[in-house]
Amino acid sequence: MPRGRKSGASLSVEPVVPGQGRPEPPAGLDSLEQQIWRDVVDALPAHWLDPAGQLILRRLVAQAAISERREARLRQLRAQDQDGGEDADALAALHGVAAKTVAYLLGQLRATPRSRIVPRAAGPQFEQAPKLRPWEIKARA
């Protein structure tokens, strides 16, 4: 182990960035899935998605595309005044399940504004938390 004073460069803290920028849609996605991928990635901060997050995003994109197609079919049935039958009811139920899955996966990626907001109950605790981080306390001592 080297002795002596440590340089400023060796003491500097560099943030660990999980992702590699804004990933392009993987090959094999159709045009609707690629557009959903880009919309979600553009809504997230840069370098937000690591490889594990991209796996979740891939599942999210598939479910969102299914939901979009079911929604379009429901609109067609409504335009034809056939939205009162059992087929439409079953399609609406399936659409609801897909929409809940999309919402859940968006929350897992912390891609919605609600998933990034501190709950009200945590507000006072958040303000009472120490302003210095543990590694900053050591540096001042």
Q: Which residues contact 108 (CB under 8 A, 6 or more apart)?
A: 56
Please give the single-letter amino acid code of residue 97.
V
Phi and psi, residue 134, nearest 5°: -55, -40
pTM of the predicted structure, to 2 decimals: 0.67
**DSSP string covering 2-39:** --SPPPHHHH---PPP-S-SSPPPPTT--HHHHHHHHH
Report how far Cα 108 is from the mean position of its chain's Cα atoms. 6
**DSSP string covering 62-126:** HHHHHHHHHHHHHHHHHHTT-TTSHHHHHHHHHHHHHHHHHHHHHHHTT-SHHHHSPPTTHHHHH
- Separation between Cα atoms, residue 49 and residue 22, nearest integer Å: 8
Per residue of the chain (141 residues), give pLDDT as tens.
567 676 666 655 555 455 567 899 999 999 999 999 999 999 888 888 899 999 999 999 999 999 999 999 999 999 998 888 888 999 999 999 999 999 999 999 988 877 767 666 666 666 676 677 666 666 555
Is 18:50 a contact under the CB 8 Å cutoff? yes
